Amino acid sequence: MTHPAPNPDSGTESRETPRHKTPRWVKGFLVAAAVLVVAIVVIHLSGGTVMNHTP
């Protein structure tokens, strides 16, 4: 059984156009930001004290 030869193009391609990966800290940051935004929206909609922009 012969091992398939490595594709010479694949290595070059991965160097030329590496697959874009979002860093873990960005994902965590986005999750935290989403939680904060949802919390603020819920407080606004439920008529909490942090609601009115005019007295």
Partner 1 sequence: MKLMPPAVRKAALTVHILSSVGWLGAIAAFLVLAIASLTSADPQLVRAAYTGMNLIGWMIIFPLSLASLISGIVQGLGTVWGLFRHYWVLIKLIITALATALLLVHLQPVTAMAKMALAADLGPSDMNGMRIQLVADAGAAILALLITSILSVYKPRGLTRHGQKVLNKQQAQTRPAKGANA
Question: Closer to partner 1 at the Cβ: 1 or 25?
Answer: 25
Residues in binding contact with partner 1, number by CB under 8 A = 16
- Separation CA 20–CA 26 (nearest Å): 13
Give the footprint of partner 1 on residues 36-55 (CB under 8 A). 49-55
Q: Are 44 and 50 in contact (CB under 8 A)?
A: yes
Residue written as tokens 């819920």?
42
CB of 43 to partner 1, least distance (A): 9
Q: Is 3 in the site for partner 1 (CB under 8 A)?
A: no
